[in-house]
Amino acid sequence: MNIKNKYHNLSKINQLFLPALAVVITISIVRFPDEAFNAAVNGLDVWFTIVLPALLPFFIGSQLLMGLGVVHFMGVLLEPFMRPLFNVPGAGSFVMAMGLASGYPVGAMLTGKLVKRKLCNTWEAERLMSFSNTADPLFMVGAVAVGMLKDVRLGTIIALAHYISTLILGFLMRLYARNKEITPPPATYGPQQGIILKATRELIRARKEDNRPFGKLLGDCIKDSVNSLLLILGFIMLFSVVIRIVTVAGLINIVSPFVETILKVFGFDSSLAPAVVSGFFETTIGCQLASNASAPLSQRVIMVSSIIAWSGLSVHFQVMSMVSDTDIKMAPYVIARVIHAFLAGLITYIMITMPVGSFESLVIPAFAMSPSTTSESWMYIFKISTQVFVLLLILVLFAAIITHLIKSLNIIGFKVVKK
């Protein structure tokens, strides 16, 4: 009975906290109207300049492929690869590829879609979302390395550290809820049939289940994508305003001494404290402050890498909104972000000790562009994003075929033994 009363009291506190927070934000906006307006405009500019052209092809294309049954097809072929490595269904390969290339919050959005279509269960979705919802290379190389740190070679270090730590995190998260039930492979046809035929039949079955004409399917994908992007816009503007008001009100200066003490324990310069506080809320602002800090370059790059891996409360709330109509819990995702931030910082530290010039040959010119407000920049980002989406789809299909060929030679594989 005491436990019930305790949870009841906590529920009451939560119900009172959110309205109180909304009132505080509203009063703060009224108190600092000019600052709030400028912050909102800056958030709108970031969304329109970077987020919209970068995410629109992935949002529309990925949902279209899911409706056409292509994801089901790849899920059958890549089950032998994804299950042993990450303990998620084969359909998670599509989510992982799209999430790693497109940036927040595509991985979370697609994970929610898999749960709704019963292609994975809640525990598998929590594992998958923890490592498939990452930053995109255009942001890390173009916006951060070129635009903020003024050195494109650092973008390669940040991106490599980010993706290496992501894969390590995915391998670690396979241990989460490992004794829970797993989603059976989608194809349940006879063993005498080839896996390509099974995958094709699964595609046809999924398309029949969807049963929407192509015109309606395309229209629904565009409508859902635009709604999701507008939702992301709202979060970006809200957190831009909150961080600006917190800064103007002097709250960051109150918290900074405590953060400085923690940084000194780990040997970091105290000038990085404002970046840590701002990066806790929003990635772009945190990276900007870290880039402009008076700390040594190596410490600034490590901090930028950790902030990107943490991704900020702004992205966390975007993820929460994408999976709000499922049973996916946010706690594993947030814990995974903390681990990811630590791993990304550690790997960046290891890589930054190498000669920076050695990373120059790894720079991809398409991503080495700092986004601007011009129409040419908008179209360039949209074109690159579309090309990356098509290239990734081809690569995932190619990987699926290669996995099938290797499995047919009995080089890799797994069995589910029923007792």
Q: Which tokens belong to 87?
A: 């303990």
Residue length of the chain: 419
Spatial CB neighbours of 294, under 8 Å, sequence gap ≥ 6: 269, 271
| Per-residue tens of pLDDT for the chain, all 419 residues | 455 554 455 456 656 766 777 787 788 788 888 888 999 999 899 899 888 898 999 999 988 988 888 888 888 878 888 888 899 998 888 899 888 888 888 999 999 999 998 889 999 999 999 999 999 888 898 889 888 998 888 988 999 999 999 999 999 999 898 888 888 765 444 455 566 777 788 888 888 888 888 899 999 999 999 999 999 999 888 888 888 888 887 777 888 889 999 999 989 999 999 999 989 988 988 999 999 999 999 999 999 999 999 999 989 999 999 998 899 999 999 999 999 999 999 999 999 887 766 666 666 676 767 777 778 888 888 888 888 888 888 888 787 777 767 766 654 444 444 44
Is-contact 403 78, C-beta < 8 A? yes
pLDDT for res 320: 92
Is-contact 256 274, C-beta < 8 A? yes
Spatial CB neighbours of 124, under 8 Å, sequence gap ≥ 6: 87, 88, 89, 92, 182, 183
pLDDT for res 416: 47
d(CA 196, CA 187): 10
pLDDT for res 9: 54
Q: ω into residue 105 within 30 of 0, thus cis?
A: yes
pLDDT for res 296: 93
The string of pLDDT tens digits covering residues 318-335 is: 999 999 889 999 999 999
pLDDT for res 189: 44
pLDDT for res 356: 64
Strands (E), 228-279: none
Spatial CB neighbours of 328, under 8 Å, sequence gap ≥ 6: 111, 112, 115, 122, 125, 126, 129
